[in-house]
Chains A and B, each alone.
Chain A
């Protein structure tokens, strides 16, 4: 397990939900998918979700699945309504310029796998 803060630093991530402290979020891995039902069927709590989807339903999926943070790849940034909903659900939103392959690889390495 590592702190989300360490991962954000490693991917040059931008936090779109600054009211949530990434230092308090511990993560054990990631689930990488853009299919929402796939995420609900297979992602586990304590995993971040790496995706390029950034509409409102993504927040609902993360909330129902118990995902603490979403990492948006390729510089995708969520709009204000999505950020507000994420805050309501205490889900941290991070965007990074890296592609999903790199984002997963960096976390894999950080976790010492």
Chain B
């Protein structure tokens, strides 16, 4: 969740959000770099809406086994599934990396472009660039990124037109 070098040099733009009351916890996490307990990795192919979701299913099932509270679990599952669908719908494919820590989860999505030209616009509820196939499935309402933000304790979206996109979020278990 650190501001990457490309953002600092203005090549990429970043949208960053930390939920109220989580500023200290997020800063602490970023500075401390605690050791991960479990790591999961899934490939998300372009326009494959049956494979997209596998990572979220696995993650949800694993966290359920670990005893994560059902309300928190639902937030993680929704944010993660929305992000997987975004990668399948809008990119040339990407990878989902989930890292479980003692008291939180960090989920990161990195795709192979083509990137987001205007991140502020992409974050606006109702704005969508989804194609007909995606809309026919009932996605493309322009609510994916807002839903991810709504369910996260911290979120970062880094992208630029013609570049890859990196989306990350943190959700605390309690």
Contact = CB atoms under 8 A, between A and B. Distances in A.
A18 to B, nearest CB: 23
Contacts of A55: 137
Contacts of A37: 82, 139, 141-144, 147
B39 interface: no
Interface residues of B, number: 24
The secondary structure that dominates the A interface is: helix
A41 B81 contact: no
B138 A53 contact: yes
Interface residues of A, number: 19
B45 interface: no
Interface in B116-174: 137-139, 141-144, 146-147, 150
Interface in A47-94: 53, 55-58, 60-61, 63-66
Given A56-B49, A57-B137, A65-B74, 13 more contacts: A35-B141, A36-B137, A36-B139, A37-B141, A37-B142, A40-B81, A40-B82, A56-B50, A57-B138, A58-B138, A63-B60, A64-B77, A66-B74
Interface of B: 49-50, 53, 56-57, 60, 70, 74, 77-78, 80-82, 85, 137-139, 141-144, 146-147, 150
